[in-house]
Amino acid sequence: MGLLDGKVAIVTGGGNGLGEAYCKLFAQEGAAVVVNDLGGARDGTGGSISAAQKVVDEIKAAGGKAVANGDDVSTMEGGQRIFQSAIDAFGRVDILVNNAGILRDKTFSNTSEADWDAVVKVHLKGTYCCTMPVWNYFKDNQVKGVIVMTSSTSGLYGNFGQSNYGAAKAGIYGFMRVLSIEGRKYGIRVWGLAPGAFTRMTSDLPGRKDREPDPMSLPERIAPGVLYMVSDLSGDQSGKVLGVSSRGVREIKMLQTKGFNPTAPWTAQDLADHAGEVFFADEDNRVVA
């Protein structure tokens, strides 16, 4: 018995890297999988269904069920066709993993409008476009499905040279939180994922180029975290962000301090005087923003 027996999963960006690892693990655990991949370059240019088809062929050769889809996640038409691929091939949908993404990293002053729009469109709008038809299907058919939205520490913490990517990933976090609240009455679970892996998207980042990857950072070492999220092993958990990387698995949360709670009109100087209550302190007990 597999953890996903009888389930149907859609994985966007499933032709390489993390998405490929998710597709293969889901299939091993009994799911039928729609492998979506535009097949373009890392910056989003070009396109071919060959990447998705290769993953499908490997899943089928191992005895699993899968179909390839090459639609663009960043359009409503593409999102609808990706959903329809699952319905046409397998008759239902239970799981959606929004994984597709591109990179156009530059410092902010060197980021063009085209670079900004392309990255935000694929990551943030793409998550919206693919989620909408699946969400409505879950609601209308009383399917207690699971949706995983891929955020990033670049959006949750920030990262040099990734203003476009970080903004999109932070937006995905907010999107996930809202849908986790709206999904409660329908039994729809929504997760956030902040993965750290060695893939073609990250292989030439500072400190990684020309170095052998840490075996624990390979996509197949990240995929079990996502399997946990979409399977019954995670129970009714929703609205949470898991950070999954070579450093382990951890929940990432937004927190607030006890704060300064005045009972009368207050001034900026009062705030400065109570900064230790308002701001978190670092390990050296220095106030940090």
Tens digit of pLDDT per residue, the chain (289 long)?
Answer: 899 999 999 999 999 999 999 999 999 999 999 999 998 666 656 567 999 999 999 999 999 999 999 999 999 999 999 999 999 999 999 999 999 999 999 999 999 999 999 999 999 999 999 999 999 999 999 999 999 999 999 999 999 999 999 999 999 999 999 999 999 999 999 999 999 976 555 445 555 455 555 666 689 999 999 999 999 999 999 999 999 998 899 999 999 999 999 999 999 999 999 999 999 987 555 555 4
Q: Tell me which residues are annotated as active site.
A: 165
Q: DSSP secondary-structure letter at 193?
A: E
C-beta of residue 7 within 8 angstroms of C-beta of residue 94:
yes
The predicted structure's pLDDT at residue 289: 46
Place of tokens 């979506």: 36
Question: 32-36 and 8-11: which strand pairing?
Answer: parallel
The predicted structure's pLDDT at residue 227: 98
Biggest CA–CA distance in the chain, Å, is 71
Torsion angle (degrees, nearest 10) of CA 57, 59, 61, 66: -70
The predicted structure's pLDDT at residue 47: 62
231: nearest Cα among 145, 150, 130 = 145
The predicted structure's pLDDT at residue 192: 98
Residue type, 230: V
For residue 17, give the H/E element and its range: helix 17-28
The predicted structure's pLDDT at residue 211: 55
Kindly list the structural domains of the chain, giving each domain's residue range(s) and its CATH number in brackets, ordered by start.
Answer: 8-252 (3.40.50.720), 256-289 (no CATH)
The predicted structure's pLDDT at residue 208: 45
Q: Provide the residue count of the chain.
A: 289
